[in-house]
A and B are shown apart, each in its own frame.
Chain A
Amino acid sequence: MSAENEHQRGRIEGGFDAVIIGATVEGLAAATCLAKNGFKTVLIEAAADVGGPAATRGFAEGCKVSDEAHLVNALDRDLVREIDLYRHGLTYSERRIQTVYLSDRDEPVVLDGDLARARETLGPRVGDDAAAFEAFFKIYGDLAETLSGAFVKGLTAADGTALAKALTRLQKDVSEEGYALLKRACVASTRAALDPAFDSALLKGGLAFDAAFGGAAAPSAQYGFLNLLRRWAGESAGIHAAYAHPKGGMGALADALRRAAQSAKVDIRTNTAAKSILLEWDAAAGVALENGGQIRAETVISALDAETTYLKLIGPAALDMEAQADIARSPSNLILAKAHMALAKPPALPKLSAEALRGRFVICPSIDYLEEAFRYAKFGRVPPKLAMEFIIPTVHDETLAEGGKCVLSAWIHPAPARLHNDADTAALKGELLDKAIATLEAYAPGFRKSVLEAEIRLPEDYAAAYGMNASIWAARAPLLDQWLRTGVLQRGDRVDGLFFCGPEAVIGGGVSGGAGRRAAGLAVRRAKSRSSFL
């Protein structure tokens, strides 16, 4: 503990308008937005650094990698504008990253980073599907863009969570045709949506992977397709539904947010853990700290996960039992796992130029392949052929590795949370790494020999590193469910003055900042309605 913190032990501080718990991307976004609205804001973070899982971390000698999310595709555009993130040092080393759906036999399918122009890159390789994709993206891409605001806000149905009511609210935002499409898209399985639209198994497989990514729904499961719309609702570096790589990895994005927060005069305190949220007369009154101190403020925003926020910081003795049951759901038995590999040389992908290594690669040659992977993972086995997404960050950004090394960063989804024989996580990691290298070897001959060092990151590792509940890295419930639930969590009516922008509030996952901006907006609105100081 630093001398400054020693000094603060047991102190009760007042004079703040808002306390934000957790300096994640969402927490930083919320703090900055509040400060820009004239709130005297303090941001507390248990760790020594800001950013939470958005961090660039060394994992092998001379090699760094974005520890969790490795690409930006849903960064909230209103947030970027509101806090002027580019001025605070956000730079992309690569924007409009093309997506390459790999095949172990045939030529890959390449989608331009700007999906609206994908027809050119798809080319004659997929025949009629190039035109079909253009039409498909025209419909669903437009619908997704219309919905981007709703994806940040969440849906709230007044009585319970009736889907019909929630959808009716959306009706005013989209056209009549769009609404009919949306109703279909909400309930459709990925397979049902993609099968009639395209011929190419590879294209369908790749799109199915993107739709299933992060979720617990297999391609044949109902409600799965909506996730693809969520992915297409985002934008990065000004291009709709595109991917971009921040210069310096995800940690650099967190740094830009930190600078924005500092310039807005947010009081950022690291190494300061929250012990509980103070409640007085059913309203938030501040935060009690682990070091015995208190920070008092009428607005509290939590960027920690829902279980930590509600069950630990508030506790069951002041939480409605129905809310508690809703928050403490048992997570899916599927997880997302991440593989980081340090390579001696870039992988040799046949039928692709060296320039193509700048892409985002997806290994999922068909819907059946993905279905098979889900089947294995569901029953606690590591699929022999993994479905994965990988990038080679060192191609975009040479600063991430020294001495000519190359880094590969891959998401493996789906993966089992536990092995069927209850073996320990080391065994799961070993098996995942084995299968990941074997899978990559099939697509890039000679890959195995180039691996210098490698690691697998599991939810437990993230939970330990960033002080959050491991369940948020479990595969997510269908998007519709997240959508409805997020509205309830964000609205902040569980406790007056407490707003929530934790990972559960980020619909569809990813690095967004939208939930933080939204929480700050709600807090500002509440403060305005209560007093005249603003």
Chain B
Amino acid sequence: MIPAGACFDNASPMPTAAFRAAASSSFANRWASVSGWTSALSYGDVAAEYDALSRSAGLVDLGCFARLRVWGPDAAAFLERLTTTSAARLTPGMGVPGLICDEDGRVVDTVSVRRLEDDAFLLTMTAPRARRLGLSARGFNVSYDDVTASAGALGVFGPKASEVLSEAGFGAPDPVRGVQKTVRGVNVAVSPDALGPVKGWSLIFAGEETLAIWDRLTSRGLLPVGLDAVDALRLEAGAPRLGADFVGADDAVRYEDARTPFEVRLGALAPLEASWFNGRGAVRARAAQPRRRALLPLKVSGAEPVDGGPVFAEARIIGVVASSAYSPRFRCVLALADIDAGFAERRRFEVGAPKARTGARIAAEQYDPASEDEDNA
């Protein structure tokens, strides 16, 4: 999932490799800083972008992620320690999402690990986290190199992503395995990827080729999609976003600001039965304890986002709306609320409108993203 930019991010965010292309495609001129990288909130029509992503396919700038090439004889062992993934079990071309946890079992970052060759991996994370990589590499024969600045990264997501890519010449034969392609002289790594619930492919190539790739894809009718549409879709699936719904343990100002995987609906990414990872002992202990906080998906009536609004139950504040967006599919606002885990079983809540000073409260209802998907299917 694309992280959210912190409010004290670089005041003038850096352009991603695709920024020139994106800026020339943008009518809305609405931008946000994501980990210090300029990312489009919308290119003009959020509803059309949402439609593209949910019904056909959309083009997303993935330049805001930090990418590291990791290689060496101990690369797999190093990644198994650093992340919750079972990197050693991946075959070349395969990738898997995971987490980085700290020694207290709290989430530091969401990552994905992809095996490029036998002893070379691509590690994608939301920020470079040099200190943690350095700590983790002690005692391992491994090298890593931050390729964020030199690589261009675009994603094509949506149900028709594979078809669009095939038309453009980037098609991969195996739906779960990445390939290296040379299209008109440009080397592109095409690999399966996902933005929260939306499946698709990511394309990685030399940064200076971005404009050519962007043009090749958009000239075949692919619509560039901004963060607003992505946000609506991931809220429909109840997928949390680092920086908006929770902060990473290394960025948390107070100890209690950080969250365990179970408190932010990411428990599945920290499998306790697979290989050992940093903080597994603590995660195991946390799994046995009751959660302190919970991230709850809410349906809020009305059409206005309620980000930052207080959540009420039994006439007192029990949490805050961490993120929200209007969902065209449900015709209401969907939100993720960070609340006291003691109230996680309740169905109905009230949410205060964050900007209105009238004290008006809006009714909200818990919903289960998984069962909603089944209803629709």
A323 contacts B276, CB within 8 Å? Answer: no
Q: B77 interface residue, CB < 8 Å from A?
A: yes
Q: Is the beta-carbon distance between A322 and B135 smaller than 8 angstroms? A: yes
Whether A321 touches B138, Cβ cut-off 8 Å, given contacts A282-B281, A495-B281, is: yes
Interface status of A423 (Cβ within 8 A of chain B): no
Within 8 A of B (CB), among A165-221: none
B220 within 8 A of A: no
| Contact between chains at A320 and B77 (CB < 8 Å) | no
Please state if A317 and B80 are interface contacts (CB–CB under 8 Å).
yes
Min CB distance B60 to A, Å, is 32
Q: B327 in the interface, Cβ–Cβ < 8 Å?
A: no
Interface residues as binary, A295-322 with B (CB distance below 8 Å gives 1, 0 otherwise): 0000000000000000100011110111
Contact of B281 with A316 in the complex, beta carbons under 8 Å: no
A159 interfacial by beta-carbon distance below 8 Å: yes
As a 0/1 sequence over residues 64 to 86 of chain B, the CB contacts with chain A under 8 angstroms (1 = contact) are: 00000000000001001110000
In this assembly, does A120 line the interface, its C-beta being within 8 Å of a C-beta of chain B?
A: no
Does more than half of chain B's interface fall in helix, strand or loop, or is it mixed? helix
Q: Is B27 an interface residue, CB under 8 A from the partner? A: no
A317 in contact with B81 (CB, 8 Å): yes
In the bound complex, what is the Cα–Cα distance between A496 and B82 (angstroms)?
Answer: 21
Provide the bound-state CA to CA distance between A297 and B62, in Å. 51
Contacts A321-B278, A325-B135; A316 near B103 (Cβ below 8 A): no
Inter-subunit contact B135/A324 (CB<8 Å):
yes
Q: Of residues B132, B136, B282, which shows the largest number of chain A Cβ atoms within 10 Å of its Cβ?
A: B136
**Distance in Å: Cβ of A402 to nearest Cβ of chain B:** 49
A317 with B77, Cβ < 8 A, contacts A282-B281, A328-B138, A495-B281 known = yes
Residue of B nearest to A495 (CB): B281
In the complex, chain B residues whose CB is within 8 Å of the CB of A496 = 281
Contact B135–A321 (Cβ < 8 Å): yes
Q: Is the beta-carbon distance between A320 and B279 smaller than 8 angstroms? A: yes
Chain A neighbourhood of B135, CB < 8 A: 321-322, 324-325
B275's closest neighbor in chain A, by CB? A317
| Residue numbers in A under 8 Å from B80 (CB-CB) | 317
B281, A320: Cβ atoms under 8 Å?
yes
B154 to chain A, nearest CB (A): 33
Contacts of B103 in A (CB 8 A): 320-323
Closest chain B residue to A494, Cβ basis: B281
Docked CA distance A315–B139 (Å):
8
A328 to B139, CA, bound (A): 11
Instruction: Point out which of A315, A321, A493 has the most chain B C-beta atoms below 10 A from its C-beta.
Output: A321
Number of A residues with CB within 8 Å of any CB on chain B: 19
Q: At the interface, yes or no: A160 with Cβ under 8 Å from chain B?
A: yes
Q: Using Cβ atoms and an 8 Å threshold, which residues of chain A touch B77?
A: 317
Q: Could you tell me the distance between the alpha carbons of A317 and B81 in the complex, rounded to whole angstroms?
A: 6
Does residue B102 face the partner (Cβ distance < 8 Å to A)?
A: yes
CB nearest to B82 among chain A residues: A321
With both beta carbons as reference points, the residue of chain B lying nearest to A316 in the complex is identified as B139
Asked whether A324 lies within 8 Å of B281 as measured between CB atoms, the reply is no
Query: Are B276 and A282 interface neighbours, CB within 8 A?
Result: yes
Q: Once the chains are docked, how many angstroms separate the CA of A324 from the CA of B278?
A: 11
**Measured CA separation A328–B136 after assembly (Å):** 13
Say yes or no: A324 contacts B138, CB within 8 Å. Answer: yes
| Shortest Cβ distance from A279 into B: residue | B276
A residues 322-344 near B (Cβ < 8 Å) are 322-325, 328
- In the bound assembly, the distance between CA atoms of A493 and B280 in angstroms comes to 12
Whether the pair A318, B276 counts as a contact (CB closer than 8 A) is yes
CA distance A323 to B138 in the complex (A): 12
Q: Which of B139, B276, B282 has the most CB of A within 10 A?
A: B139
- Contacting residues of chain B (72-128) with chain A, CB-CB under 8 angstroms: 77, 80-82, 102-103
- In the assembled complex, which residues on chain A have CB atoms less than 8 Å from the CB atom of B82? 321
B255 contacts A324, CB within 8 Å?
no
Within 8 A of B (CB), among A487-532: 493-496
Question: Is the beta-carbon distance between A320 and B139 smaller than 8 angstroms?
Answer: no
Q: Is the CB of A159 within 8 A of B280?
A: no
List chain B residues, Cβ under 8 A from A311: 139
Scan residues 131-155 of chain B and give those whose CB is less than 8 A from a CB of chain A.
132, 135-136, 138-140
Given contacts A321-B103, A322-B102, A322-B135, 19 further A-B contacts (CB under 8 A): A159-B255, A282-B280, A282-B281, A282-B284, A315-B139, A316-B81, A317-B77, A317-B80, A317-B81, A317-B139, A317-B276, A320-B278, A320-B279, A321-B82, A321-B132, A324-B138, A328-B138, A495-B281, A496-B281
Show 21 residue pairs from A and B whose CB-CB distance is below 8 angstroms, ordered by the A residue.
Answer: A282-B276, A317-B77, A317-B139, A317-B140, A317-B276, A318-B276, A320-B102, A320-B103, A320-B278, A320-B282, A321-B81, A321-B132, A321-B136, A321-B278, A322-B135, A324-B135, A324-B138, A324-B139, A494-B281, A495-B281, A496-B281
Which residues of B does A touch, CB under 8 Å?
77, 80-82, 102-103, 132, 135-136, 138-140, 255, 276, 278-282, 284
Top 4 A-B pairs, shortest CB-CB distance: A316-B139, A320-B103, A322-B103, A321-B135
